Chains A and B, each alone.
Chain A
Amino acid sequence: EAGVAQSPRYKIIEKRQSVAFWCNPISGHATLYWYQQILGQGPKLLIQFQNNGVVDDSQLPKDRFSAERLKGVDSTLKIQPAKLEDSAVYLCASSLYGNEQFFGPGTRLTVL
C-alpha cells in the first residue's frame, strides 16, 4: 500500500514570497491533517479535513495560510506571504478511523 506522498521535500524562499505544498493521502482515507513542526518541537495541527470539509482550523494563521482539499482527496497548503518564523517542516497525515494517523515525509521550508 502506498503511503502519504508530499511534495516538494525541500523549499527555500525569501520572506514575503508565496509557497505551496501538496499532499496525496493514502487511498480511501477520509481524514487529512496538516501539521507544522518547528525544530525541537512536536507537530502542531494547522488544519484537519474530513473528506473535503474542515473539522478544525483553530490554529491556522488565516491571514497568511490557506488550505484546500478539493474532491476530498489531494490537498494543498499555501503560505502567502511567508515570514521568517514560518521556517519549519510541514507534515501531512491521513487516517481512516480517526486516531491512527499515517504521516508523509514532510516538506522542509526555509524562509530567508
Chain B
Amino acid sequence: TQLLEQSPQFLSIQEGENLTVYCNSSSVFSSLQWYRQEPGEGPVLLVTVVTGGEVKKLKRLTFQFGDARKDSSLHITAAQPGDTGLYLCAGPRSGGSYIPTFGRGTSLIVHP
C-alpha cells in the first residue's frame, strides 16, 4: 500500500507569514496532486506535478516534486486569510488504473 504522510498536521499563522507543508512517501509516485478543501466543501485541485524536480507556481503558491518522485512540498508566500483550509496531497496507487490515495492533510489557519 502506498501511503502519503503529510506534515505538519496543523498550522496556525498570521497574515503575511510564509509557510511550507510537506507530503512524503517511501514509494515512488508517477504523479502527485495538491488539493485545497474549505469547510463544508469538497476538495479543489490546485496542481498536478509529474516530473521529478518539477516546480510549479500558482500566484503565491509554489509546488515542488522531489527528484525521486517520493515527496512534494507546497510553499505559500505572504499567506492571506483566504488561504485558510485543508491542504491535501494525493497520488495514484501502484498498478495500471488510476486509483487515488490521499494523505491526511494539513489544516492551515491564517489569522488577519
Binding site for B on A (CB under 8 A): 4, 33, 35, 40-45, 48, 50, 55-56, 91, 93, 98-106
Contacts and interface: CB of A to CB of B under 8 A. Distances in A.
Nearest to B40: A105
23 contacts: A41-B104, A42-B104, A43-B102, A45-B99, A45-B100, A48-B99, A50-B97, A56-B99, A91-B43, A93-B42, A99-B33, A99-B92, A99-B98, A100-B33, A100-B45, A100-B48, A101-B43, A101-B100, A105-B40, A105-B42, A106-B40, A106-B41, A106-B42
Given A4-B42, A91-B42, A104-B42, A98 B98 contact: yes
A35 B101 CA distance: 10
Given A35-B102, A45-B102, A48-B99, 12 more contacts: A41-B104, A41-B105, A42-B103, A42-B104, A45-B100, A45-B101, A55-B99, A91-B42, A91-B43, A99-B33, A103-B44, A105-B41
Contacts of B105: 41-42
B31 interface: yes
Nearest to A106: B42
A90 to B, nearest CB: 11
B76 interface: no
Sorted from nearest, which 10 A-B pairs have the closest CB atoms?
Answer: A103-B42, A42-B102, A98-B98, A42-B104, A56-B99, A42-B105, A43-B102, A103-B43, A41-B104, A42-B103
